[in-house]
Structure 1
Amino acid sequence: MEFVIRRVRIDDERPLMDIGIEAGRIVEIAEAIPAIGGEEIDAGGRAALPGFIEPHLHLEKAFLHRRLPARSGTLEEAIRVTGILKAKQEREDVLERSRRVLDMAVKNGTTLVRAHPDVDPIQGLVGVETAVQLRDEYHDLLDLQIVAFPQEGILKTAGVEDLMEEALDMGADVVGGCPYNEMSWDDTMAHIDRVFDIAAKHGRPIDMHVDFADDTRDRRFASARYIAEKTIATGYRGRVALGHVTSLGALEPDEAKPVIELLREADIHIVTLPATDVYLGGRGDTAKPRRGLTPVRALHAAGVNVAYSSNNIRNAFTPFGKADPLQIGNLLAHLVQFGTPEHQGEILKMGTENAARVVGVSEDYGLAVGKQADIVILDTFSVADALLDLPARSWVLKRGRVTVVTTVESRICRGCGRTHTPTASGSTRS
């Protein structure tokens, strides 16, 4: 056996298990594997999950928060500020900031990222070019999918469609969309039609930013129904993901229900982005401010596949974040009031199994025999405590190879009589 993980908790209702790994895949799960591994880890009863998945990250926009700080915190300001900064994008700087995000993600147990670089005349294809380079550079640490994302619209901005085609030829995996960033509802529908045409031409899945608003008074921010109908008509069920979809949460339940049913029928994946959506949403409300989220509870209850992601890391859209899916999951659980043990389990699924469906890797994903050995072992002893403890990621494995080892030492000192000297890292030495 190439690799054996000993005494790991994969299910709180079952005994501790050993996991055997060969050629990057799980080949055996048993209470005791007699074979000796070429390499072994003793998890000591710690809990394990399949590697986390971030289905919606903007790498090239990360860590811009101090270069031109936002002042009002609105979506309009974030778009304006980011537009100014992305016009100045330089390849090496984009690579450095993107690596910071990916390093954070790897250390936090993420084994797959779907990146959404802008494709437009403002920054050209630098986001795609750098993502393609990083996909190769980080191959042993995580998988990187690339979306050709037309942030500035397709009809509104000349040359974007050609750039999207070029991005796909360069190696982008997914066709993106931003239909609300057009001048009219007719153009929003035409934008969606173009996205489906490009995707069908190249045989690629679709992942769009849609309905990113507090309400649906402007039809450009009420496109989910049209997209669902288009998905069904074109035979694209299961291959379309939508990020944000916040305006759907402003509808009364009777208004939202038929749209949600269509999303379920079309097997569309919804990716909620709570750190961004709550930060930017509801700012114009002087009373009873909206939370600015897609209706996660209603979507989940209806059987729609819901996942979550970090979206932006430290920029005008989201001034916080460290690419930690457990942190975002904990935030989401609070916001949608998913606090029961069963609901906490569903949140964990949203960052793992559900996210795997979004990015199309379900068949090869999970803690089961035959699956790819992408595993995160947490420094906690119950799977159910993952969202509560936000524990260190003791070990992370990608395709059966250890990529991260984290050791945490913390000591309560009460009358110990020792001298404690801060070290350069900020910890103490005694």
Structure 2
Amino acid sequence: MSALLLRHARVEDSPDPADIRIRDGRIETIGQDLQPPDGAEVLDCAGRVVIPGLIEAHLHPDKALLDSVRPNPTGTLADAIRVTAELKAGFTRNDVRARAERVLRMCVLNGTTTVRAHPDIDPVAGLVGFEVLLELRESWADLVTLQVVAFPQEGVFRAPGTEKLLRKALDAGADAIGGCTYSEASVADCHRQVELVLDLAAEYGVPADLHADFADDCGDERFALAEFIAARTVARGLSGRVTLGHATSLGGRPPAERRTVLAGLAAAGVAVVPLPATDLFLGGRGDDTAVRRGIAPVRELWEAGVLTACATNNIRNAFTPYGTGDVLEAALLLARLAHLSGPADLRRVLRMVTYDAARVIGLPEADYGVREGAIADLVVLHTNDYDSVLLERPIRTAVVKSGRVVSRSTFSAELDSSPVTRRRA
């Protein structure tokens, strides 16, 4: 494999620049005045900050970029599901591949080196999106690591035949099993879906990643499943292998109840991934006064010890008509929504799309980060100030995947501050 030396790199929040020597796809040494390996490319970082590759812990590439085809007429979750279901009937492999590759290109250029993708699996879409993402997992492996989740957007019991398709996807090599509890018609079926998803996780030895509790409050008990999921996770010995996406209704519970639920999630080792762009866009649609903008209670999740990441979710479709493929944009939005500010908070939010996200999706600790021995998935940022990374979302000067520079960006800005001579009339 090729070798690389990053010269004069500011390793995350380190006060002084250092060299990073990379060989055979891994960080070999970090130190001063290192000699490049034979034949190595040398990249002068000029004191710029280097962070680990960004991680998109929850993304739907198969249904991205559909908003220009058919937008959401009401902005509600129900219409987002309905509109997308209608469009899925016309999905082809070429269509899904073209949109998914466009999104992956956005992500890589913005410094993402790992994506957990959730393609829809149901009797309408079949396995089209899933199979395309499996193909892209191989063909894009030199640019980005893809984890592919078998995801039942339309529910399981509400869409007969879905369980069989999920098993086919797991047999074909899905990296995780997904769930969408609130798509079921009753609380009883929501419970049945949780049981099935966790059973499949245990049977196939894969993690489970469920969309759950995605509402403004818990008025409908289908959106109050966090404690049930935590209990069933413990019962199956799946601690550390279950994730909840959205979980906005946690914030709608009374404080004492919320503390109990969060403690249960922490004890069960269930992670939570807020998806702020989607949560903001779809939330509060039934309110006509003091419109709510639901988000999982991030600071309380931290304080309870719940592993928490952040992700983009959807890009320019009926669920979220925005997005550039930059997960730092989602992280900054989360900070704004969750009342997080100051260097300590913002550093922790940055971890939600790096180190904490890596833990959520199960990357081995020794393989991730700017540390000796780790896989060399790195981003060189156009800044020498670590604490400006989230606030400024600087240009990704270079993106390194497994020790190879896969993306380069240049940036130049000039302010003309020379005095202006004014002529008198």
TM bucket (normalised to shorter chain) is over 0.9
Cα offset, 1:120, TM superposition: 0.3
Matches within 5 A, 1:94-133: 94-133=96-135
Provide the secondary structure at the position in 1 that maps to 2:183. coil
Partner of 2:277: 275
The answer on whether the counterparts of 1:380 and 1:389 sit within 8 Å (CA) in structure 2 is no
The answer on whether the counterparts of 1:210 and 1:221 sit within 8 Å (CA) in structure 2 is yes
1:67 and 2:69 correspond? yes
Which residue identity is paired with 2:310? Y
Provide the secondary structure at the position in 2 that maps to 1:395. strand
Provide the secondary structure at the position in 1 that maps to 2:181. coil
Q: How many pairs are equivalent? A: 417
Distance 2:400 2:87 in 1: 36
1:69-96: per-residue Cα shift (whole Å, max 9, x none)? 2222111111111111111111101100
1:325-361: per-residue Cα shift (whole Å, max 9, x none)? 1111111111112111000100100000010011100
Cα offset, 1:411, TM superposition: 2.8
1:186-227: per-residue Cα shift (whole Å, max 9, x none)? 111111111111111111110010011111121111111000
Distance 1:115 1:2 in 2: 30
1:401 and 2:400 correspond? no
Which residue identity is paired with 1:369? E
1:372 and 2:369 correspond? no
Higher alpha-carbon deviation: 257-266 or 358-367: 358-367
Matches within 5 A, 1:114-263: 114-263=116-265
Provide the secondary structure at the position in 1 that maps to 2:210. strand
Provide the secondary structure at the position in 1 that maps to 2:230. helix
1:307-336: per-residue Cα shift (whole Å, max 9, x none)? 010000000100000110111111111111
Higher alpha-carbon deviation: 33-42 or 98-107: 33-42
Structure 1: 5+ residue runs without aligned partners? 418-430
Cα offset, 1:14, TM superposition: 2.9
Partner of 2:30: 29
Provide the secondary structure at the position in 2 that maps to 1:338. coil
Cα offset, 1:289, TM superposition: 2.3
The answer on whether the counterparts of 1:15 and 1:31 sit within 8 Å (CA) in structure 2 is no
Pair 413,173 (structure 1): closer, same or farther in 2 beyond 3 Å: same
Cα offset, 1:35, TM superposition: 4.5
1:20 and 2:21 correspond? yes
Provide the secondary structure at the position in 2 that maps to 1:380. coil
Alignment partner for residue 390 of structure 1, among 390, 393, 418?
Answer: 393
Which residue identity is paired with 1:2? A
Partner of 1:423: none
1:316 and 2:318 correspond? yes
Partner of 1:381: 384
Which residue identity is paired with 1:391? P
Which residue identity is paired with 1:217? G
The answer on whether the counterparts of 2:12 and 2:51 sit within 8 Å (CA) in structure 1 is no
Cα offset, 1:159, TM superposition: 0.5
1:106-126: per-residue Cα shift (whole Å, max 9, x none)? 000000000000110011001
Distance 2:192 2:14 in 1: 51
The answer on whether the counterparts of 1:281 and 1:291 sit within 8 Å (CA) in structure 2 is yes
Provide the secondary structure at the position in 1 that maps to 2:11. coil
Distance 1:30 1:205 in 2: 37
Which residue identity is paired with 1:397? V
Distance 1:362 1:8 in 2: 24
Higher alpha-carbon deviation: 395-404 or 383-392: 383-392
Which residue identity is paired with 1:357? R
1:278-302: per-residue Cα shift (whole Å, max 9, x none)? 1111122222322211111110111
Pair 40,416 (structure 1): closer, same or farther in 2 beyond 3 Å: farther
Higher alpha-carbon deviation: 251-260 or 403-412: 403-412
Structure 2: 5+ residue runs without aligned partners? 421-425
Distance 2:327 2:315 in 1: 12
1:33-54: per-residue Cα shift (whole Å, max 9, x none)? 1445621110000001100000
**TM-score scaled by length of structure 1:** 0.94
Q: CA RMSD in A?
A: 1.5
1:246-269: per-residue Cα shift (whole Å, max 9, x none)? 111111211101100010001111
Which residue identity is paired with 1:378? L
Provide the secondary structure at the position in 2 that maps to 1:357. helix
Cα offset, 1:32, TM superposition: 2.4
Cα offset, 1:413, TM superposition: 4.6
Partner of 1:341: 343
Which residue identity is paired with 1:115? A
Matches within 5 A, 1:34-45: 34-35=35-36, 38-45=40-47
Higher alpha-carbon deviation: 91-100 or 10-19: 10-19
